[in-house]
Structure 1
Amino acid sequence: MDVREKVIEIIAQQALLQVSDVTPDSRPEELGLDSLGLVEAIFAIEEAFDISVPFNANDPAQSGFDISTVGAIVAAVEGLVAQKAA
């Protein structure tokens, strides 16, 4: 399973949706993810990939981690995974 598939699976689990319901263009709020659900998803992503996500739930805009869409989250996680591997 690649990073994209795993991140989408985690987000789908947190949103209580099927993986097929989550697309790269989906926004977390469209999926029914509130701030707590998003934090839970971030924790699950950190655990799954053994990375530290620079996400500040109190001020998401300042965290440098784009959570605007599922695709943006996937791209950010791919970047963190690549940094870890380097």
Structure 2
Amino acid sequence: MTSDVETRVVRIIAEQALLEPSDVKMTDTPVDLGIDSMGLVEAIFAIEEEFDISVPFNANDPQGSAFDISSVRSIVAAVKSLVADQTT
């Protein structure tokens, strides 16, 4: 069963990749989807707005950020964690 968070994150990522959400697989990386660094930053901003959260992402050092962007699955998991932290 797909969660609301997953659906919304996939929609945002799909918009940045100019794809339909159904074309985005959980195993895809931003690079697989054709999302460049600027597109990734825009997706992060959209996620922050959508969920009213602050994402710990450093565009200058994406690999050193506390926000895992290695796959769609990892992005969804990180957003779920941030949303859960906000409600507790």
User: What's the TM-score, normalizing by structure 1?
Assistant: 0.98
Within 5 A, what are the aligned runs for 1:1-80? 2-80=4-82
Q: Quick one: distance in 2 between partners of 1:68 and 1:42?
A: 14
Consecutive unaligned residues of structure 2, counting only runs of 5 or more, are none
What RMSD in Å do the two structures reach over aligned CA positions? 0.8
Query: How far off its partner does 1:40 sit?
Result: 0.3
How far off is 1:61 after superposition?
1.2
Distance (Å, rounded) in 2 between the aligned partners of 1:57 and 1:70: 17
Give the superposition deviation at 1:62. Answer: 1.2
Percent of paired sites with the same residue: 64
Q: TM-score scaled by structure 2? A: 0.95
**Which digits, 9 at most, give the CA deviation of each residue in 1:6-51, with x for residues without a partner?**
0000000011001011011011001000000000000000000000
- Matched position secondary structure for 2:35: coil
Instruction: Show structure 1 runs of 4+ deviating over 6 A.
Output: none
